[in-house]
Amino acid sequence: MTASKPLKVLVYSDDIETRAQVMRALGRRPHPSLPELEYLEVATEPVVIRYADEGVDLMILDGEAVPAGGLGIAKQLKDELSTCPPIVVLTGRPQDSWLASWSRAEAAVPQPIDPIELAQKVIALLREHVPATA
């Protein structure tokens, strides 16, 4: 992967405003050391699974999405994929961080979304998991 190739970030939520909040919080390039981000907006579980199989660099999953919550999807992906991208889950509240641990997501951010916290966690995960950003 070259540093100029955009990083694919899947953003899953059944709520269009939640997806928009995530993308606004991160912007096109959350840090100068990272390539630009290319967002894949997803509103349904089957499409999340398809993109996970095809390959993305990072997944941000809404734990409060219905009918399939992002926490359950994260657990399923971590259990079933031999190579799973890093996952950030959006939890309903800070006290739900134990659910994020159960889901095996690498990071959790409570809602309402704090743009700074989300950006810090995403930047750290991308630097750790994407070779071109090391």
What pLDDT is recorded for position 115? Answer: 97
Q: Which CATH architecture has domain 7-127?
A: 3-Layer(aba) Sandwich (3.40)
Alpha carbon of residue 118 to chain centroid: 10
What are the residue ranges spanned by the domains of the chain? 7-127
Residues of the chain with pLDDT under 50: 1-2, 133-134
Does the pTM surpass 0.85? The reply is yes
Tokens of 116: 């700074």
pLDDT of residue 4: 72
The whole-angstrom separation of Cα 120 and Cα 109 is: 10
Q: Which amino acid is at 113?
A: I
Report CA 88 to chain centroid distance, whole Å: 4
CA–CA separation, 129 vs 133, rounded Å? Answer: 8
For the chain, what is the radius of gyration of the CA atoms? 13
